[in-house]
Structure 1
Amino acid sequence: MEFSKWGTILGDDKLAAAMIDRIVHHGRLIEFGGPSRRMDAALMLGKANV
């Protein structure tokens, strides 16, 4: 999920900004641009091989 949407999910933009700051302070962000294997197999999408 994009960082810009965290405030909506958490209900507080300042809290979301603080959390993101702590998480990425010493980390590295890796962005993947291909199709998601998780989403392809998600039960909520009705595409899982059961």
Structure 2
Amino acid sequence: MPQLNPAPWFAILIFSWFIFLTLVPQKVLTLVFNNEPTPGAAEKAKPGSWNWPWH
């Protein structure tokens, strides 16, 4: 039964993890995003007080 022989499957496992851990992150990190996020305002606007009648 070929499933009991770990030699080819272990090599495939190691090689696939090598690809996932070395080549794929480099490809993902080189992507350039078109819309850069704009920084938020340094001061947040203070909300005005409510002028509701409480009676």
How high is the TM-score relative to the length of structure 1?
A: 0.29
Structure with a larger share of its residues in helix: 1
How high is the TM-score relative to the length of structure 2?
A: 0.27
Q: Which has the larger radius of gyration?
A: 2
